[in-house]
Amino acid sequence: MKTIFHSHDLNTDHQSVVMSQHNLNAPNPVLPDMLKALKPDMEIFASVNHQEEDDPFMHKNIVFETIKHFTSADGYITDQVFTDRHHHLDSMFVSELSKLIGDKHFIIGPDFAKIPYFRQSHILDELIEYDVSGVMYDLRGTDFKNYNELQPLAKLKIHAKKRIQIIPVVESPERQEELLKSIPFEIVYIHA
């Protein structure tokens, strides 16, 4: 089982990190390259979100340029691929991202959990077609003793099988242990 930790600085002892600001916007542009230079064996995922840009054309181009800049990252995370209040994918954008990212990891961020339950499996199938490596599922604030709250995630995990990684997002290592008692996962992202 792998745990990925959130970081926005160079002082981390974790083996696998998501480099981003606290709100999952893109990190300081020098951090991923510097961290990789300091710790070549570390697995670094760079967030490429730019939530403050409202113009769709500019936003897409900023994301493309951010990916081109973070060449040392092992993978990229973005939430900003949904349209129509998380009911659909921006298929053209996801396709272009997939081509640009190539053989590195392409992960959809925790906003995936905002997709209405009845659309999640369908959108997951679309993401698989675009070679997306994984989707994060935000469980921060979820009561793990209430199985009704975990049911959509459990069904999605069964639907995903081995085709794509479902990566739950929790607040702490303690919450990770609590979650894993109910549903086993290969990867968990800890982001307070």
CB neighbours (10 Å) of residue 184?
Answer: 9
pTM tops 0.75, yes or no: yes
The pLDDT tens digits of the residues spanning 103-154 come to 999 999 999 999 999 999 999 999 999 999 999 999 999 999 998 999 999 9
d(CA 36, CA 31): 8
- H or E element, residue 106: strand 105-108
Confidence of residue 7 (pLDDT cuts 50, 70, 90): very high
Intra-chain end-to-end CA distance of the chain, in Å: 20
For the domain bounded by 50-186, which CATH number is listed? Answer: 3.20.20.380
Percent of the chain that is helix, strand, coil (3-state, to 5): 40, 25, 40
Domain extents in the chain: 50-186
Q: What is the pLDDT of residue 12?
A: 87
User: Which of 129, 125, 71, 126 shows the shortest CA–CA distance to 100?
Assistant: 71
Q: What is the pLDDT of residue 10?
A: 92
Q: Are 127 and 97 in contact (CB under 8 A)?
A: no
User: Which of 97, 103, 102, 101 shows the shortest CA–CA distance to 61?
Assistant: 97
- Is residue 149 helix, strand or coil? helix
